[in-house]
Structure formats: structure tokens, C-alpha cells
Amino acid sequence: MAALASAARSRRRLIPYLHRLLHSGPAAAAAAPSPSTSRFLRHASPVPRTPDHSPYLRFPDARVSTLPSGLRVVTQAYPAATRMASVGVWVDAGSRFELPGTNGTAHFLEHMAFKGTGRRPNAQALEVEIEDMGARLNAYTSREQTTFFADVQARHVPVALDVLTDILQHPRFPERAIQRERGVILREMEEVQGMMEEVIFDHLHAAAFRGHPLGDTILGPEENINSIKKKDLEQYISTHYTCPRMVVSAAGSVSHDEVVDRVKELFTEFSTDPTTADQLVEANPAIFTGSEVRVENVELPLAHIAIAFKGASWTDPKSIPLMVIQSILGSWNRSVGVGNCSGSSLARGISDGNLAEGLMAFNTNYRDTGIFGIYTVALPDTLHDLSRLIMAECRRLASQVSEEEVARARNQLKSSLLLHIDGSTAVAENNGRQMLTYGRVMSFLELFARIDAVDCATIMETAKECIIDKDVALAAVGPISNLPELSWFRSETCSDDEFTRRMFFAKAQNN
């Protein structure tokens, strides 16, 4: 009976389709898709397409106010069932702006900001106040920016602003706390040394920007951590924590006018020195150097390698094409097990050839420059073939890129960007960072339109400009005796050989 019922259901589904086929013209019959194909095309397409994003990207507008002091306030209010908000201070100052011999000061200051103020005499008093509100207070330092932010209930936004202002305008920097924090940062340094990805990218910056503060680590060397004094911290704040270089960003359940009024009331003691970060960068620009850092360590089971080219600044027209190139190169890890069906031809080549344990394309922007390239982890006996494959793929981007893979990369990039703005914290961070880098908040409709304007011709033009016959920065740690010399990588930006065809078109030749 079950079989008869199933057959009857199949006939009921098939009869309308046959009726349409029999009563339509020959052209329509030829064009009519099968029921299964029709169902598939309603929800997906075998060819990547550029969709219309406007119905999904109409977020509330970000509002911006600039105070007479030069301090900027940006808010983005949207309905939040949880009545939560995020508010923070984004400062256009990081490790690249440190004076010679004081590398590590910006990060040390981030730690010390939470150690007490005149009204909140110690770290415990500050922590109790934050925890009593059910809030979260945090901070981080990068090479060009420092951020202090809080996630709070909407009714506590005024208190959060008071806390943020207090720790930045009235820090105490007690000597005992400074001595204690030295040990904390040194332990943090030991932890970072165990994170190979962090180690590699510190070495890569040293190779790419040799002799420049942008090539220094954010934590600084051990000798600096042991010697930084209260006056160094105070000088860094007075020099770089100025109103024109600061942005207060709030998102979630917030009122723009109320935030602006509170900022006017509280942010009254910062310097109004008009010197901008751009002026400081112009006075000491970062120069990309084609050099390398190699640390041979045969005790490590895997080699960690980063290969990089000079990238683009935040405002460089090449910045968005390079974001798409990063998406084309892709990322992959053997534990995921989808390399041979990945959209990234590099991931497919590495997976099919069993050449690495994982790879990650990266693209980092700074005010006047950038770096982009490939980070990979591999067994030592595969390093030469792996290097040839990576360089062949980089060269390919300058000559043979399909519209389909570019469309796929654009869609993956847009999805990744949207995933990174989930929640008020991410929105406040995005807006604060954009105000520092662009001087405005770029809407996602505009950003996605700029991404969709990148076609295969743009990719090839950008790759020719940034990869072909260009210097290479290299960082490698582990058993790397089989890794080619830097001069070989440099020569591979110009040469072409049969390796590309063998690795990327082996399946096509077999067919």
C-alpha cells in the first residue's frame, strides 16, 4: 500500500509538468527546466551572481557630531530587545607612534589605565563599579590605534562614559602598580611566544618594515617593559591622546543627543593640539622592504611561513580589490577536509598535492601602506613545491582570472563583513575605526557597491601592480631548511613555468 501511495503522489506531481510541456510551443518545451532543476534554481545558482543587497542593508544611519575641541562623536542607534549598548573611545595612536627606545609604551598604557584614578583609587574600586552595573570594560592596542570600550545596559551609558573619561583623563599610575604590571605583560609575552601565528606576523612586520616603528612589536622588547616609567606613560597620553585624534563611538540602544551632551560635559581636559596622525605619518612614512626573518627550529614538527607583498593604505583605491584578492586566495585547514572542493584554486591545489596543513590569505591596511599575502603551515619536506604553487597562484591573478571566481570571492567577502558586525560592540568598533581611517562612516550599501564594481579586469590590473616584479617580505619559523631563498621568491614574481599547468590543470588534462 505504501508503494502504491508513493506512486500516486509521483503521478500527481508529474501530470501538471507534462501538461505544461505538451501544451507549450517547441521553444518553451526546450527551455522548460525539470521540476528538480526548477526547485534548485529558485534557491541557488551554479553560477555565482551579484544580488541586490539594498533590502537587507538599510541599517539606521550613523550620526556624527564634531565638538569645538575637535573631538568627534558617532552613534548608531537601532532597536535592541535587550536594551544593551556599547560605547568606547577610539584613539588614533598605537605602537607606530612611539618614540625611539620606548616601544611597548602604548600597550603598557592600555594596561595601566585600569589601575585607578583620583575618584576610583585602585583597580578593585573600578572593577566593583563595573560589575555592579553588569557591564564589561575592555581595551586593546594595535599598531595604529588604541581602544577603550564598555558594553552596558542602555541606562548605564552615562556612567560608562564617566568611567572611560576618568581612566583616560585622571590615571594615577602608582609605582607599585607599574612594577606589578611589568610581570603581567612579561607573562603575556610568554603566552604570545607560544602562538605561532602571532609570532610569524610580528616577524613579518619586522621584515616588511625593517628599521621603522611599524615593524616593531606591539608589546615591545623585554628590556623596554622593564624600563618604562610613569613619565613615559604621561608623555604618551599628553602627546597622542588629543581631541582631534579621538572618536567616541556608541551603538545599540543609545540617543545621539544624550551621548553628545554627556561627552561635552566630561571630555574637557584633553589637549586640543591640532597635529593629526596623518601629519605624523607623513613625517615618518613606512617604507616596504623586501627582506626576511628566518628562525630555524628543528624541534617544531611543522614550518610556519608568511609570504607578503606591499599592500594598500586604508584610502588607497587598491584597498578593496586587494580585499577581493584575499577572498580569491581564500583560507583552508586540513581538519575541515573540504580543500578539493573549495572555491579557492590555491586551496584545491594544496589539498590535491597534500602540500600543507593549512593556509590563510591576509590583507592588512595602515594609514600609508599595507601588506597582503599568504600564511601557511606545512611539513618540512613539502616546502619547495608548496612555495612554487603559492607563487604560481599569485602570478596567475595577473593574467587569468574568471568572472565566476571573482563573483564568488565578492560574495564571500560581503558575507564575512556582515558576520563581523553582529551586535552593538562590533558596530561601535566598526564606526569608530572608520571615523579614524576614513573620516566618515561608509555605509554597507556603499561598501558593497564598491566591492561589486571589482571585476576580473580590476583584479588582474591590481595583481600586476602589486605582485608582478615586486619585492617580497618573508617570515619563517620551524624546520625550514627546504624553504627556498628570498631571492628565489623575488624571481618567481616574474617567471612562469610548467608547474602552474601541472598543479592547476592536472584534472582537466586527465579528462
Q: Enumerate the active-site residues.
A: 110, 181
* Residue 86 · residue 250 · CB < 8 Å: yes
Instruction: Tell which residue, 331, 303, 355, 363, has the closest CA to residue 504.
Output: 355
How far from 139 is each of 83, 111, 150, 262, CA to CA, in Å?
22, 8, 9, 21
Cβ-based neighbours of 140, under 8 Å, separated by 6 or more = 110, 146, 147
Q: What's CA 31's distance to the chain center, in Å?
A: 45
* Residue 485 · residue 391 · CB < 8 Å: no
C-alpha cell at 347: 586551496
C-alpha cell at 2: 505504501
Phi, psi of 398, rounded to the nearest 5 degrees = -90, -5
- C-beta neighbour count of 123 within 10 angstroms: 15
C-alpha cell at 244: 582631534
Q: 384-416 in b/e burial notation, b at 16+ Cβ within 10 A?
A: ebbbbbbbbbbbbbbeebeeebbbbbbbbbbee
Q: Is 215 exposed, middle or buried (0-12, 13-18, 19+ CB in 10 A)?
A: buried
Tell me how far apart the alpha carbons of residues 250 and 252 are, in angstroms, rounded to a whole number: 7
The residue type at 222: E
Phi, psi of 27, rounded to the nearest 5 degrees = -65, -45
Q: Say whether 143 sits in a helix, a strand or coil.
A: coil
